[in-house]
Amino acid sequence: MNFGYNYDYLIVGAGLFGAVCAYELQQKGFRCLVIEKRDHIGGNMYCEKINDINVHKYGAHIFHTNDEKVWKYVNRFVTFNNYRHSVIANYRDEIYNLPFNMNTFSKLWNVVTPEDARAIIASQKIHPVAKIRNLEEHALETVGTDIYEKLIKGYTMKQWGRPATDLPSSILKRIPLRFTFNNDYFGDIYQGIPIGGYNLLFEKLLSHVDLKLSTDFFKERADLTSRAKRIIYTGPIDAYYNYEFGQLDYRSLEFQHSILNCDNYQGISVVNYTDINVPYTRIIEHKHFEYSNVPSTVITHEFPRSYEKGSEPYYPINDENNNRLYKKYQEKSRDDKNVIFGGRLAEYKYYDMHQIIASALTKIKDEIDQIRQNDAQK
């Protein structure tokens, strides 16, 4: 493959944002070079086949959306199964359903009616004297002591690596309370997992563009940027600017995969471990995503980790200090007229998969509209 000629776009990152952009631009006749620092496409959605099971190598990914346009878009490339996500929490070997619903309340308090559950929650709520200052106060004011102590506190502290009193309430955003016996984790109309795994989606999206894997943008920056008229960048925005204003904070993750000689380890795809004394936050059993009928199983223990430069950034920590720092990089990025920044890392924002697709489609539409406008003015 000849990479010596010019491209219209250099796309940094073969994850979902970059892959959708590449596909849309290629369909419009633009020449794209996609580079990826890992040795595979798909970003964190990449699946590794182990014993005929598609293992979500970087954590569980469940596609869910209410956006019919996005749902129809992804179904052009892959066929989805009818998987609907359901999660249980393990607190010291007590099992509870998530999100919090009547099954959860019945197990906690032996109640049978929504009225009884509401009454107990109301009696346990702790109202702060002044304005809510942190996650703990937000949770206690919303759900009370039992749910907070057993199902929120330990898990959240492990996930973010700091006491709940040091976390902004915005991390939880809202705490869903369902007064129905409904264990669906997501309430979206459209849900599922691609039959055969997410890799099939990326293979279709990137099938007609030039692709370079195991390529570090920062080590080959001068050469790579000289090959394209414009850049679509999906990596960390602070790294793009050489940490000029300082380093943004993230939480990282470590995954420990195990093959077990049994056909069913935990009976469900995801179990959250909410006790602070359990070092991992959850165990994933991958065969349940696609109902694999094989004699063995693969599980993954997920451990939250501190982020250091060079490790994988997974979750932006959108507290006041980091948001202030990001705004400096965002302002600087607006002066880079030949660069489009998109995705979780480049926008320092948590996105679900359907939101990434919608964002990529919007940005490419805006880009093409601007090109047409410029051509019309010539």
Please, are residues 137 and 152 in contact by the beta-carbon 8 Å criterion?
Answer: no
94-98: strand order across its sheet = 94-98, 87-91, 270-273, 282-285, 297-306, 250-260, 315-316
CA nearest neighbour of 300 among 267, 252, 257, 253:
257
* pLDDT attached to residue 2: 44
* pLDDT attached to residue 367: 95
* pLDDT attached to residue 319: 86
What φ, ψ does residue 156 adopt, rounded to 5°? -65, -40
Largest CA distance in the chain: 73
CA–chain centroid gap for 229, Å, is: 30
Looking at 46-92, list the stretches that DSSP marks H as alpha helix, in order from N- to C-terminal side: 68-75
* pLDDT attached to residue 320: 87
Active-site residue identified among 290, 302, 347, 367 = 302
- The pLDDT tens digits along the chain (378 residues) read 444 558 999 999 999 999 999 999 999 999 999 999 999 999 999 999 999 999 999 999 999 999 999 999 999 999 999 999 999 999 999 999 999 999 999 999 999 999 999 999 999 999 866 778 889 999 999 999 999 999 999 999 999 999 999 888 877 776 789 999 999 999 999 999 999 999 999 999 999 999 999 999 999 999 999 999 999 999 999 999 999 999 999 999 999 999 999 999 999 999 999 999 999 999 999 999 999 999 999 999 999 999 988 789 999 998 889 999 999 999 999 999 999 999 999 999 999 999 999 999 999 999 999 888 888 887
Please, are residues 367 and 232 in contact by the beta-carbon 8 Å criterion?
Answer: no
Active-site residue identified among 8, 146, 319, 352 = 352
* pLDDT attached to residue 308: 86
For strand 297-306 and strand 53-56, is the pairing parallel, antiparallel, or unpaired?
unpaired
* pLDDT attached to residue 129: 65
Q: Does the active-site annotation cover 46?
A: no
Q: Does the active-site annotation cover 251?
A: yes
Q: In this structure, which topology does domain 7-83+191-248+313-377 adopt according to CATH?
A: Rossmann fold (3.40.50)
Q: Does the active-site annotation cover 178?
A: yes
List Cα–Cα distances, 245 to 9, 176, 201, 305, 310, in angstroms. 27, 37, 37, 24, 18
Q: What is the pTM of this model?
A: 0.93
How far apart CA 38 and CA 235 sit, in angstroms, is: 12
How far apart CA 341 and CA 363 sit, in angstroms, is: 9
Residue spans of the domains in the chain: they are: 7-83+191-248+313-377, 87-171
Active-site residue identified among 251, 265, 315, 351 = 251
Looking at the chain, list the stretches that DSSP marks H as alpha helix, in order from N- to C-terminal side: 16-27, 68-75, 102-109, 114-124, 135-142, 145-147, 153-160, 199-205, 221-225, 237-240, 320-333, 344-347, 353-377
Q: Does the active-site annotation cover 174?
A: yes
Contacts of 284 (CB under 8 A, 6+ apart): 56, 59, 60, 269, 270, 299, 300, 302
Active-site residue identified among 220, 350, 366, 372 = 350
* pLDDT attached to residue 327: 98
Using DSSP, state whether 259 is helix, strand or coil.
strand
CA nearest neighbour of 124 among 88, 100, 103:
100
Q: Find out whether the peptide bond into 99 is cis, omega within 30 degrees of 0.
A: yes
Active-site residue identified among 23, 83, 96, 178 = 178
* pLDDT attached to residue 176: 83
Helix (H) or strand (E) holding 159: helix 153-160
What φ, ψ does residue 370 adopt, rounded to 5°? -65, -40
Active-site residue identified among 76, 115, 174, 334 = 174
Q: How many CB atoms lie within 10 A of CB 87?
A: 20
* pLDDT attached to residue 5: 57
Q: Does the active-site annotation cover 282?
A: yes
**CB neighbour burial string for 207-230, b if at least 16 within 10 angstroms, e if fewer:** eebbbeeebebeeeeeebeeebeb
